[in-house]
């Protein structure tokens, strides 16, 4: 089979043997934003044509390729959902030469009834589920829109998105806080100072302005401001995500090296245990969904 | 005397009789950002030259004109501070033809020791103080950087800034939330829905993403998104600002008509009383500081 994680800015395709061994891979920056209208079949053919020519007949796709800006909009599937529910809700894609199926995104509602959505992360979480079966667990996938999921009974029971990464980016690029900040490598002491600040009273909107106060008074350097702001936002995220209760086991963490390092530091400051997972979870998730199919 | 509130984007000058009667006024969009380097004396002469020619000899200035980007940087004065402390910390400005004095900004530190600053609002708060003397009171001045102050003993005892207005602006202009929003008149029902949402668990970073969830699911219109986001942010602000305790009396509110209307709605939703004040408080504050001088 062929598994594809087609996101907003990246394309990753894997040719997989039945046991899950990666036979070949293609990775590019050809995310969905780089595909012209109507151009998805041609882009896919160009990327995986040789594998199809060699006889591959099943292509499973996940990620933003199933969004309104993608190839076809796949409806969101409600939680709880596991590999079987997802396999039962795949959207066939019009593509010659292979059976081409799109993984649905997931939706849930929080205690206030407000809807939440994910697209792409559901496949990573299915990959994670393989590691602890039906046990209760909490997973954290950091990113532009960080996802916190509760896994239970071999399914994704519930999740909540925290807009941490995007809020950090827009504040640094467009707010008064950015004017005080200089690009610099991560300063872990400043990051942890931000995490500690998040646990004080005052609220996020006050803490944000405090970043400026510290800068104006010479108590936070321009080079440390970005790290402090990350710590502040991630500290608020962790507090909010675990307000309902701290998990019995470790928090299952997967993502880029930079982000997982930052979250691991924050978890340590909160006295929380975590377990770091391979970032290539989407691949394993696609395999598991495909196995349910066959 | 001449009182001047010289902000980032606006210039307001008043010629005042000893009792506080406004004899004349000049208002323009000539904020400090429109003044070239070294151009402050000339800009001031152009605006108030005729009054000086008629014999005015004292000019008191407040606002961002005293910031690093302004005419001269006036040091911040620590809280608690009242008219006497402020009058004792005025910075003389090099200007021919009048005694020209700059009101200092204020600084304070919160429970976590993080510094906060204001510049311009201290003069408005002095104006407010005149209305209740030495009583304990809480004041809220909404804006790009909303200021919440505790007044006590005829002085500004403490204050905290909430970055509400700027966060709303950058999210609407630069984040994914803005892509879902259309400019539209204030929708009070959507605003109050946002205020109610702020009182639910989940945290601000989750609530922000929920704005997108509601939009994607067709449960919040593009026209209502800006109002909902205002309510959400102001709701979080009010919760945080009053976490230490709700004041015995009303919250004293002053600002633009649009913002004070929004805050009044939010206070109502929280069951909080408020008293609306004239937005022209800076003028009264300048008078009171000048009286302490003479």
* pLDDT tens by residue, A132-157: 888 899 999 999 999 999 999 999 99
Query: Which pLDDT belongs to residue A216?
Result: 93
For residues A115-129, give the mean pLDDT.
Answer: 96
Cβ contact (<8 Å) for A200 and B112? yes
CA nearest neighbour of B163 among A18, A138, A212, A81: A212
Q: How confident is the model at residue B148 (pLDDT cuts 50, 70, 90)?
A: very high
Query: Which pLDDT belongs to residue B153?
Result: 95
If contacts are CB pairs under 8 Å, which of residues 6-25 in chain A contact chain B?
none
Across the interface, which of B163, B166, B200 has its CB nearest the CB of A112? B200
Across the interface, which of A111, A161, A200 has its CB nearest the CB of B201? A111
CA nearest neighbour of A145 among A121, A164, A169, A122: A164
Closest approach of chain A CAs to the CA of B58, in angstroms? 31
Across the interface, which of A110, A170, A209 has its CB nearest the CB of B162? A209
Query: Which pLDDT belongs to residue B280?
Result: 82
Cβ contact (<8 Å) for A161 and B241? no
If contacts are CB pairs under 8 Å, which of residues 52-81 in chain B contact chain A?
none
Contacts of A150 (CB under 8 A, 6+ apart): A136, A137, A138, A156, A157, A158, A159
Query: Which pLDDT belongs to residue A245?
Result: 87
For chain A, say whether B218 makes contact (Cβ under 8 Å).
no
- Residue carrying structure tokens 């530190």: B109
Helical axes A222-241 vs A188-198, angle rounded to 10°: 40
A162-171, B60-69, B103-112, B128-137: least confident range:
B128-137
Kindly state the helix (H) or strand (E) to which residue A161 belongs, with its residue range.
strand A155-162
Across the interface, which of A161, A166, A197 has its CB nearest the CB of B206? A161
Cβ contact (<8 Å) for B112 and A206? no
Closest approach of chain A CAs to the CA of B87, in angstroms? 23
- In this structure, the number of other CB atoms found within 10 A of the CB of residue B250 comes to 14
For chain A, say whether B236 makes contact (Cβ under 8 Å).
yes
Query: Which pLDDT belongs to residue B175?
Result: 96
If contacts are CB pairs under 8 Å, which of residues 180-199 in chain B contact chain A?
197
From chain B, the residues in CB contact with A166 under 8 A are: 175-176
Q: How confident is the model at residue A264 (pLDDT cuts 50, 70, 90)?
A: very high
Closest approach of chain A CAs to the CA of B45, in angstroms? 31
ipTM of predicted assembly, 2 dp = 0.95
Residue positions counted in chain A:
294
From chain B, the residues in CB contact with A216 under 8 A are: 115, 117
b/e code B181-206 from CB counts within 10 Å (16+ = b): beeeeebeebbbbbbebbebebbbbb
Q: What is the pLDDT of residues A253-263, one digit of tens each?
A: 999 999 999 99
For residues A273-294, give the mean pLDDT.
Answer: 91
Across the interface, which of B115, B161, B214 has its CB nearest the CB of A214? B115
From chain A, the residues in CB contact with B114 under 8 A are: 197, 207, 210, 213-214
For chain B, say whether A131 makes contact (Cβ under 8 Å).
no
Q: What is the rounded average pLDDT for all residues in chain A?
A: 95
Tell which wins on pLDDT, B247 or A211: A211
Q: Answer yes or no: is pLDDT of B294 > 70.
A: no
Q: Answer yes or no: is pLDDT of B279 > 90.
A: no
Q: What is the pLDDT of residues A35-69, one digit of tens each?
A: 999 999 999 999 999 999 999 999 999 999 999 89
For residues A173-189, give the mean pLDDT.
Answer: 95
Judged by DSSP in three states, B52 sits in helix
Contacts of B122 (CB under 8 A, 6+ apart): B62, B77, B81, B86, B103, B104, B105, B106, B156, B285
For chain A, say whether B176 makes contact (Cβ under 8 Å).
yes
For chain A, say whether B179 makes contact (Cβ under 8 Å).
no
Judged by DSSP in three states, B165 sits in helix
Q: Answer yes or no: is pLDDT of A200 > 90.
A: yes
Query: Which pLDDT belongs to residue B251?
Result: 97
Q: Answer yes or no: is pLDDT of B244 > 90.
A: no
Query: Which pLDDT belongs to residue A294?
Result: 62
Query: Which pLDDT belongs to residue B99?
Result: 95
Cβ contact (<8 Å) for B216 and A167? no
Tell which wins on pLDDT, A97 or B46: B46
Q: What is the pLDDT of residues B163-213, one digit of tens each?
A: 999 999 999 999 999 998 999 999 999 999 999 999 999 999 999 999 999
Query: Which pLDDT belongs to residue A171?
Result: 97
Cβ contact (<8 Å) for B111 and A202? yes
Closest approach of chain A CAs to the CA of B226, in angstroms? 17
CA nearest neighbour of A203 among B12, B33, B114: B114
Cβ contact (<8 Å) for B233 and A205? yes
A1 vs A57: CA distance, rounded Å: 7
Q: Are A15 and A2 in contact (CB under 8 A)?
A: yes
B249 vs A96: CA distance, rounded Å: 72
């Amino acid at each position: 089979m062929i598994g594809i994680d087609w996101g907003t800015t990246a394309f990753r395709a894997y040719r997989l043997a039945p046991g899950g061994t990666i036979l070949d891979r293609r990775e590019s920056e050809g995310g969905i934003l780089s595909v012209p209208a109507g151009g998805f079949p041609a882009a896919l053919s160009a990327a995986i044509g040789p594998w199809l020519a060699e006889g591959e007949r099943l292509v499973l796709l996940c990620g933003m390729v199933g969004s309104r800006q993608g190839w076809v909009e796949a409806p969101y599937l409600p939680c709880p959902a596991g590999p079987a529910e997802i396999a039962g809700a795949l959207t066939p894609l019009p593509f010659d030469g292979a059976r081409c199926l799109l993984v649905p995104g997931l939706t849930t509602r929080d205690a206030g009834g407000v809807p939440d959505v994910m697209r792409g992360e559901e496949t990573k979480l299915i990959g994670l589920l393989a590691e602890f079966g039906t046990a209760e667990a909490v997973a954290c996938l950091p990113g532009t829109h960080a996802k916190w999921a509760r896994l239970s009974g071999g399914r994704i029971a519930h999740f909540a998105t925290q807009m941490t990464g995007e809020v950090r980016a827009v504040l640094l690029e467009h707010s008064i806080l950015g004017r005080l900040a200089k690009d610099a490598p991560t300063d872990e002491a400043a990051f942890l100072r931000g995490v500690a600040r998040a646990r004080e009273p005052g609220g996020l909107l006050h803490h944000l302005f405090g970043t400026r106060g510290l800068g104006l008074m010479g108590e936070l350097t321009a080079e440390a401001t970005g790290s402090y702001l990350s710590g502040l936002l991630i500290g608020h995220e962790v507090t909010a995500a675990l307000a309902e209760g701290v998990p019995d086991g470790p928090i299952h963490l997967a993502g880029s090296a930079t982000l997982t390092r930052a979250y691991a530091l924050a978890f340590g400051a909160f006295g929380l245990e975590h377990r770091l997972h391979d970032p290539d979870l989407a691949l394993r998730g696609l395999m598991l969904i495909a196995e349910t199919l066959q």
